[in-house]
Chains A and B, each alone.
Chain A
Amino acid sequence: MTAEAAIQTEGLTCIYRQLWRRREVRAVDDVSLEVSRGTSFGLLGPNGAGKTTFVKLLLGIVRPAAGQARLLGLDCRRPEARLRVGYLPENHRLPSYWTGTGLLEFAAALSGLDARTRRERARQLLELVGLGNWGDVRLARYSKGMLQRLGLAQAMMHSPALLILDEPTDGVDPLGRQQIRTILRELEQRGVTIFLNSHLLTEVELFCKEVAIMDRGRLVLSGKVRDLIAGKGYRLTALNVPERLFERLREQASAAAMRDGVAEFQFASREEVNGALDLLRAAGCLVESIAPTTSTLEQVFLRTVGREGSQP
C-alpha cells in the first residue's frame, strides 16, 4: 500500500449472512484496489455486483469480514478517516424538515466547520449548484434533481480531498448533468480525488480517467480509460488482395484477417489507413468499405462482464 493513495483496499471482503437460511452472500470478495490522489475514478458493474457495498465498506457503514481499507492514509473504520471525505449516497433521503441552507450548515457542522464558515460555504455552494434562490425553502418542496444537486453541495461543504459519489446524476436533467460534470471537472483540477459509482457508462467514459469493473463481488478489471478503449481506429475491407500485399499490410495493421476472399484490416490511425488504401489501389484491388471503429467503455464492460444485455 502506498501512502499517496486516496483509497487503498487490501483483500476487502464483505459477507452478508441470512440467519434463518444459513446462507452466505459474498457481496464483496477479496477486493484490492488503489485509487491515486487527484484522479477521477469510476466504479462499474452490473446490478448486484457489490459496488454500493464496496463504497459502504470504505465509509465504515458496513463492517468488513476480512481485509482492510484506508482513506487518505487513515484506517476507514476511524471517524477521522472521513473528515476529508465527501459522500453522496445513492437513493439518499436527506431530512426534509431542513431548508437547503439549514441542511448544508448541518452537514458542515458534522464535519466540524465553525458557524461563520458554514454560512459562507452554504451560500457559495447553493449558488454553484444552481439553487441560490432555494436556500430558505424546505427540502420537502425540492424536486429529485434539486435534491441531487443539494446532495452534491453537502458533500462539498467541508472542501473534501476525496469525493465519493454514488449515482450523482440520478434524476438530474441533461443540463443539470452537464453542470455537475463541470463542477466535478473543476474539483478534479483543484486536486480533489473523485470516486464515481455510476451505471451510466457514457458518463464514466466522459469524466473518469480510471475505471474498475466489479462483477459478483469481485474486481474483474481495472485500468486507465484511455488504455481500455484503445481499440479505436479504422476498419478496411477489400477484395482480390494478393497474398504478398496482404502479408505486407498485416504487418502495418493492428489486426488483419482473410475471410471468404475478403481481406479485413484494422488500422489505428488515419495516416495508416490512407497508406494502405494507396497500396491496394496500386495493386488493382477492390476496396469494399472503410469505417471508423471504436471500442467504447460499454463494449469493454460487456466483454469483461461477459453477459450481453447486462445492466451496469
Chain B
Amino acid sequence: MILRQSAALVRDTLQEASLRWIFWGYYGLSTAAILFFLFLLHVDVIEGARATISLLGETSARAFPLQELVRRFYGAVAVLLYVHGMALAVFAAAGLMAAPLEGGRIEWLLAKPVARWRILGMRLLGSLIAVGLNVCYLVLSVWIILGWKTGVWDPSFLAVIATVMFMFAVLLSVVTLAVVLAGSATLATMAAFALMLISPLLAQHKLMVKLLDSESWRNIWRALYWALPKVYEVGRMNMDLLRGRPIESWMPVWSSALFAALMLVAAFCLFARRNY
C-alpha cells in the first residue's frame, strides 16, 4: 500500500509537470541544443573540427587533437546545463513544489490516509525525476552524437548528470523549505537564485577576508561560506572532472549536501506540524 501511494504521488507530480509550459520549454531547449549539435557535426569530422574551433573563437594553425575538441564540446554543454539549465530547472520545479500546497488542494491531499512526509517527499522525488529525465536526455544525446561522429567515447562527461542533479537537489531543498514556509513559488525561486548568485562571491572568501577591515565581518563572511551551498565550486569540480584534472577537495560537495539535509529536515518538520 505504501508503495502504491508513493507511486501515485510521484505519478501525480510527473502528470502535472507534463502539462506545464515551463517543462515543455525546458525539454524544448534541450531538444534545440541537441539539434544544434547534430547540425554542427553534420560536416566532415576533421574539417568540421577545425571549423568548429574557429566558430568557438579559437583559431589554431596546429593540428587540434580530436579528444580535446570533444572535451571542449562537453565543457560547453556542461556550462550550459549547470548554469542556464539549473536556473530553468529551479524555476520550473518551484511551481511544481508549491502547487499541491495551494488552498483547496492541500486539504484534499492531507485528508487521504497518507503520512505528510510522504506527500512532500514524493513531490520532491517527482520533481527530481522530471528534471533528471531532461538532464539525462540532453547529456546522453550529446554524448551519443559526439561519440558516434568522432569515435571518442569519454565516460567522464556522464558525470555531469551526477553533478548537475546533485546541485539541483541542493537548490530544491531550499525551494522546498521556502515553499513550506511561505507557500510561494516566487519566493522559493528567488531564494534559490540568490544562493546561485552569491556563490561565486563566497567562493572568493580568502580574498574577501583580506579585503574586509572588521573581524566581525570576516567571521560573518567565513560563516556564510561554510554554511551555504557551494554552487560555483561544485561547478568548477564538474569542469575539472571533464578535463581529467584531479579533485583537490570534496568539501564543497559534502558541505552542500549537509546544507541540503538541514533544509529538508526543517521543511519536513515544519510541514508535519503545519495547520492548513
Chain A contacts to B: CB under 8 angstroms: 16, 56, 59-63, 79-83, 85, 87, 89, 91-95, 97-98, 102, 106-107, 109-114, 164
Q: Name 18 extra pairs, CB < 8 A, besides A79-B113, A89-B108, A112-B1.
A: A56-B276, A61-B106, A61-B110, A62-B275, A62-B276, A63-B273, A63-B275, A82-B111, A92-B107, A95-B99, A95-B105, A102-B15, A110-B8, A110-B113, A112-B4, A112-B5, A112-B113, A164-B111
Structural contact, B108 and A98, CB atoms closer than 8 A: no
Structural contact, B113 and A82, CB atoms closer than 8 A: yes
Q: Whose C-beta in chain B lies nearest to the C-beta of A80?
A: B113
CB-CB under 8 A from A85, the residues of chain B are 111, 113
Structural contact, A111 and B113, CB atoms closer than 8 A: yes
By CB atoms of chain A within 10 A, which of B1, B104, B111, B115 has the most?
B111
By CB atoms of chain A within 10 A, which of B16, B104, B108 has the most?
B108
| Leading 9 A-B pairs by shortest Cβ distance | A109-B8, A93-B104, A112-B1, A87-B111, A110-B112, A82-B113, A62-B275, A83-B113, A59-B111
CB-CB under 8 A from A62, the residues of chain B are 275-276
Structural contact, B275 and A109, CB atoms closer than 8 A: no
Structural contact, A56 and B107, CB atoms closer than 8 A: yes
CB-CB under 8 A from B276, the residues of chain A are 56, 61-62
Q: Whose C-beta in chain A lies nearest to the C-beta of B272?
A: A63
Number of contacting residues on B, CB 8 A?
30
Cross-chain contact of A79 among B108, B114, B275 (Cβ < 8 A): B114
Task: Determine if B102 is an interface residue (Cβ-Cβ < 8 Å).
Answer: yes
CB-CB under 8 A from B109, the residues of chain A are 110
CB-CB under 8 A from B112, the residues of chain A are 82, 107, 110-111
Structural contact, A93 and B105, CB atoms closer than 8 A: yes
C-alpha gap A60/B114 in the complex (Å): 11
Task: Determine if B12 is an interface residue (Cβ-Cβ < 8 Å).
Answer: yes
| Nearest-Cβ distance from residue A97 to partner chain B, whole angstroms | 4
Structural contact, B16 and A97, CB atoms closer than 8 A: yes
CB-CB under 8 A from A80, the residues of chain B are 113
Cross-chain contact of B111 among A61, A98, A109, A112 (Cβ < 8 A): A61
Can you list 6 contacts pairing A with B, beta carbon distance less than 8 Å? A60-B110, A92-B108, A93-B108, A106-B8, A110-B113, A112-B5
Task: Determine if B7 is an interface residue (Cβ-Cβ < 8 Å).
Answer: yes
C-alpha gap A91/B104 in the complex (Å): 6
CB-CB under 8 A from B105, the residues of chain A are 92-95
Structural contact, B113 and A89, CB atoms closer than 8 A: no
Q: Whose C-beta in chain B lies nearest to the C-beta of A64?
A: B275
CB contact under 8 A between A109 and B19, given known A60-B110, A83-B113: no
C-alpha gap A102/B105 in the complex (Å): 16
C-alpha gap A95/B11 in the complex (Å): 13
CB-CB under 8 A from A91, the residues of chain B are 103-104
Chain A interface SS verdict (over half): loop
Structural contact, A109 and B4, CB atoms closer than 8 A: yes
CB-CB under 8 A from A81, the residues of chain B are 113
Task: Determine if B78 is an interface residue (Cβ-Cβ < 8 Å).
Answer: no
Task: Determine if B9 is an interface residue (Cβ-Cβ < 8 Å).
Answer: yes
| Nearest-Cβ distance from residue A247 to partner chain B, whole angstroms | 59
CB-CB under 8 A from A94, the residues of chain B are 105, 108
Structural contact, A93 and B102, CB atoms closer than 8 A: yes
| Nearest-Cβ distance from residue A24 to partner chain B, whole angstroms | 14
Q: In residues 79-126 of chain B, which contact A (Cβ within 8 Å)?
A: 99, 102-115
| Nearest-Cβ distance from residue B268 to partner chain A, whole angstroms | 15
Q: Whose C-beta in chain B lies nearest to the C-beta of A27?
A: B275
Q: In residues 1-26 of chain B, which contact A (Cβ within 8 Å)?
A: 1, 4-5, 7-9, 11-12, 15-16, 18-19
C-alpha gap A114/B15 in the complex (Å): 19
Cross-chain contact of B110 among A59, A92, A111, A113 (Cβ < 8 A): A59
CB-CB under 8 A from A106, the residues of chain B are 8, 11-12
C-alpha gap A63/B274 in the complex (Å): 8
C-alpha gap A88/B105 in the complex (Å): 11
CB-CB under 8 A from B8, the residues of chain A are 106, 109-110
Structural contact, A114 and B19, CB atoms closer than 8 A: no
Structural contact, B4 and A93, CB atoms closer than 8 A: no
C-alpha gap A202/B18 in the complex (Å): 44
CB-CB under 8 A from A164, the residues of chain B are 111
C-alpha gap A305/B114 in the complex (Å): 37
CB-CB under 8 A from A92, the residues of chain B are 104-105, 107-108
Structural contact, B115 and A79, CB atoms closer than 8 A: yes
Q: Whose C-beta in chain A lies nearest to the C-beta of B19?
A: A97
CB-CB under 8 A from A56, the residues of chain B are 107, 275-276
Structural contact, B15 and A89, CB atoms closer than 8 A: no
C-alpha gap A251/B115 in the complex (Å): 62
Cross-chain contact of B103 among A79, A93, A98 (Cβ < 8 A): A93
Q: In residues 134-176 of chain B, which contact A (Cβ within 8 Å)?
A: none
CB-CB under 8 A from A89, the residues of chain B are 104, 107-108, 111
By CB atoms of chain A within 10 A, which of B7, B102, B104, B113 has the most?
B113
C-alpha gap A62/B107 in the complex (Å): 9
C-alpha gap A274/B67 in the complex (Å): 110
C-alpha gap A98/B99 in the complex (Å): 14
Structural contact, B107 and A95, CB atoms closer than 8 A: no
